[in-house]
Structure 1
Amino acid sequence: MADDPVTPSDLSFSPFAVSVLRAADRRMRSSDRGDMMTRYAACRAAMCALTRVDTFYVGHYIGKTTLSIPYCVDNKQFLSADVQQFGPNGLSEYIRSTGQIYRFGQDGGRRARMGWKTTENPVMDVVVVPLRHSETEEVLGMMCVESTVAGTYDDEIVRALQWLAKALVWEMTQDRSFADDLGLYELYPELDSTRPRDETEMLRTLTGELERLRLALRAIDLPDDPKLAEATRLIEDAKACGERLHMRLADTLATTHPDDPALKDNTAGLTTRELEIATLIAVDGLTNRELAERLFISEKTVKVHVGNVLRKLGIAQRSAIAYVIGAIHPSASPKEQ
C-alpha cells in the first residue's frame, strides 16, 4: 500500500513553535550586521524552548576537510571556538558531500558518535541540518542539536532546526549583499569595519568586548545568602580574570607598533584607566557621578581622569571624545541624540 501523500497541514508548525520561531526571527533580524554570536544564540534559544538540547553547535566548512566551530554549547557550558579536521566517513563529510539532513535513526548515531569519547551519557538522539547558500545551494556548514535521551526529536523539531538554519544563512547573505548592492567595499575593501585590518585592530576589538563583559560582571550583585556562596565565588573569580585579561590586552595594545605615528596621535598617551573612562563617556554618555559609581572610585578622581583625557586628546568638550577615540575603541561612536 502506497504511503499517504504529504499535505501542507502535515508540514505546518504548532502555535507554540510559531511563536518561538518568530521570536528567533525578530532577534536575528534586529542584530547588528555581522553579529553572528547573537544569531547563533537566537537559534539555540529557540531550540531549547522547543525541546531538550544537551549540545548545540554551528560549524562552517573551510575547504573540503576542515570545519570551523565558532559556537558550541555543551551541557550549558560554552566551549571555546575550535577548528577540526574531518575524514571521509564521518558526519561532517556526510553533510558536506550530500547536503542532506542527518538523523540518529539513519545509522543508530554511528556518524554522530565518531570522534567522541564514550561517556556515562552518550548521544542518544541527534539532528544535523546543512547550512546551504540560498542561491548556489553550496553547503556552507551545519547546525546540530544533540540529546542524551532517545527519541527526543520529532519531525517538527527537524523542520524547526531546518528553518532556523535557512534563516541564519539568509542573515549571513544579507550582510554581504547589502554592502555589495551599495558598492560600499568594492573599491575600498579596507573600509569594511567588520573585518579587522591588522593585529592592532583585532586587539582593540577584543579589548572592547572584554570591557563590556567586565562591566556586566561588575553589575551582578547577589544577595548575602550561604546558598549562593559558590556562585558568588565564581563571579568574583570571573571578575578577577576579566581584570587581568583586560590589563594584558590593554598593555599589548599600548606596545603594538610603537613607531606608528598615526597610532601615537590616536592614543595620545592615554593610560588604561583614562582610555576606560573615555570609552564609557563615548559609548554610554556617562556623567562624572555615573562614572564614579560604575568604576567604584570617587567623583573627584573621575574629574582628574576626565581632565587628563581632554588635555591629552587636545579637545575642550567631552562630547568630542567619541569622535577622537573612535579608532581606538570600535564601539566608541557618537551617541545618537
Structure 2
Amino acid sequence: MGEPKQQSRFSAETIALLRSADRRIRLAPPGDLFELYAITRRAIEALANIDTFYIGMYRDERTLVVPYRFHRGQLLRPEISKFGRHGISTWLLNSAKTYRFSDDGGRMLTVGVRFGATEGVRDGAMLPLLGPNREVVGMLSVESSVAGVITDEVVLAMEWLAKALMTVAQPATGNKANVELYREHPELQSSRVVNSLDLLHEATLVFDSLQSSLHGLSKKIARLSKAQIAEELDNIRMLCLKSSSELASQAVQKPQDEADPLATLTSRELEIAELIVEESLSNAAIAQRLLISEKTVKIHVSNILQKIGVSRRDGIAWALGRGSAKLRDSV
C-alpha cells in the first residue's frame, strides 16, 4: 500500500495557477529578470486584487534598488532609495520574515521607503527574497486598496512564488533549493504530469516561448552582427533542446488521476459536473438551478477540479471523456 496522499493547503484553482506560473518561470529566457518579475506579478494579480507590485533588491544595509515597479496597470521606472534603521526595509532585512498589513494595521508601511500609493492602502504584504545562503537579498511587495484580499492562502502562494522566482533568478541557489521548493508542495511541480492535458499545456508554453524568442530576434536582427546573430540562434537552439528533453521526460510518466475520474466525486459534485459539461452553466446559473449559494457551487467546482486532476474548468468534459450518459448513470 502506498503512502497516503498529502492534502494540499491550496485550492484547485490556486494549484492550477501556481503550476502554470512554475512552467512559465522555468521556460523564461535565461537571465531575463524582467520576464521573471512579470510572470510573478501576473500570478499574484490572478490571486488577489492588488494595485501595486514591486521587487526590491538590497544593495547594502541602507540602500534599496527597485528594478521592477508596477502600479495600477502602469510599469514605472526603476528607483534607488536610501532607507532608515526603523522602517519596514530594515525590519525585513533583519527578520527574514513575511510582513502583512494585518499584523499592525499597516503602521509599518508608513515608515521608510514607499514605492506604491501614499494613501488609501487597505491591505498588503512584503516578503523576503532569499539568496543562495538563505540570506535576505531583496523583497517582494504588494499593496491593495481593498481590505481583506491578502488572505492566508494568498500569502502562502506568494511565499512559494518568491522561492520559485529566486531558484531561477539566482541559479547559485542550486539543486537543493529546487528540491526544497517542491518538498512541501509537490502538487505545484509543473514537471510532474497530472494528466495528458498538463502535457499539452506544457507543449503549448514551449511553443509560446519559442515563438517569443524568434519574434524578439526578428525585431533586432538588422542591428546585430553575424556573431551576435549566431549567439541568439544558439540560445534558441538550446531552448529547443531543453524543452524537447523536458517534454520527453514528462511523456514517459504515467498520468496520476486518469484511471477513474468519477470514483471520488459525490452525488452533488457529479450533478454539478453534468451541468458544466452538458449545459456550460456558470457558477451563478448552477446556484440558481440547484437553489444553493454561488459560494457553495464554487467550493464544489474546486473539489471537482482537484479530484479529477484537471487545471481548468473547461477540462472537466475532457477528463470525463464522452461521458454525459456515464455521468447520468453515476448520479
Q: 1:322 aligns with which of 226, 229, 246?
A: 226
Deviation at 1:167, TM superposition (A): 0.6
Question: What residue is the counterpart of 1:123 in the other structure?
Answer: 121
For residues 147-296 of structure 1, the aligned pairs below 5 Å read 147-174=144-171, 277=222, 279=224
Q: 2:142 aligns with which of 141, 145, 155?
A: 145
For residues 51-130 of structure 1, the aligned pairs below 5 Å read 51-114=48-111, 115-116=113-114, 122-130=120-128
Distance 1:335 1:137, change over 3 A: closer
Structure 1: how far apart are the matches of 2:23 and 2:17?
A: 10
Higher RCO, Cα 8 Å, sep 6+:
2
Deviation at 1:53, TM superposition (A): 1.2
Structure 1: how far apart are the matches of 2:165 and 2:125?
A: 17
Q: What's the CA shift string for 1:139-185, capped at 9, x where partnerless?
A: 1111111101111111000001100111111112326859xxxxxxx
Q: What's the CA shift string for 1:12-48, capped at 9, x where partnerless?
A: 1111101111111111101122111111011101011
Distance 1:130 1:118, change over 3 A: closer
5+ residue gaps, structure 2: 1-5, 176-214, 241-331
Matched position secondary structure for 1:59: strand
Contact 1:73/1:79, CA 8 A, preserved across alignment: yes
Structure 2: how far apart are the matches of 1:148 and 1:53?
A: 7
5+ residue gaps, structure 1: 1-7, 179-210, 216-274, 280-320
Deviation at 1:128, TM superposition (A): 0.8
Question: What residue is the counterpart of 2:9 in the other structure?
Answer: 12
Distance 1:278 1:96, change over 3 A: closer
Deviation at 1:120, TM superposition (A): 8.6
Contact 1:113/1:123, CA 8 A, preserved across alignment: no
TM-score (norm 1): 0.51
- Corresponding position: 1:47 with 2:58: no
Matched position secondary structure for 1:18: helix
Question: What residue is the counterpart of 1:192 in the other structure?
Answer: none
Distance 1:173 1:212, change over 3 A: closer
CA RMSD across the alignment: 3.3
Question: What residue is the counterpart of 1:33 in the other structure?
Answer: 30
Task: Give, as a single letter, the amino acid of the residue that structure 2 aligns with 1:167.
Answer: A
Deviation at 1:113, TM superposition (A): 2.5
Structure 1: how far apart are the matches of 2:116 and 2:11?
A: 36
Matched position secondary structure for 2:170: helix
- Matched positions, count: 194
Distance 1:80 1:21, change over 3 A: same
Matched position secondary structure for 2:143: strand
Structure 2: how far apart are the matches of 1:331 and 1:98?
A: 42
Q: What's the CA shift string for 1:43-67, capped at 9, x where partnerless?
A: 1010111110100011111110111
Distance 1:276 1:99, change over 3 A: closer
Q: Percent identity?
A: 34
Q: What's the CA shift string for 1:159-216, capped at 9, x where partnerless?
A: 01100111111112326859xxxxxxxxxxxxxxxxxxxxxxxxxxxxxxxx96995x
Question: What residue is the counterpart of 2:266 in the other structure?
Answer: none
Structure 2: how far apart are the matches of 1:335 and 1:97?
A: 41
TM-score (norm 2): 0.52
Moved over 2 A (4+): 113-121, 175-178, 211-215, 275-279, 330-337
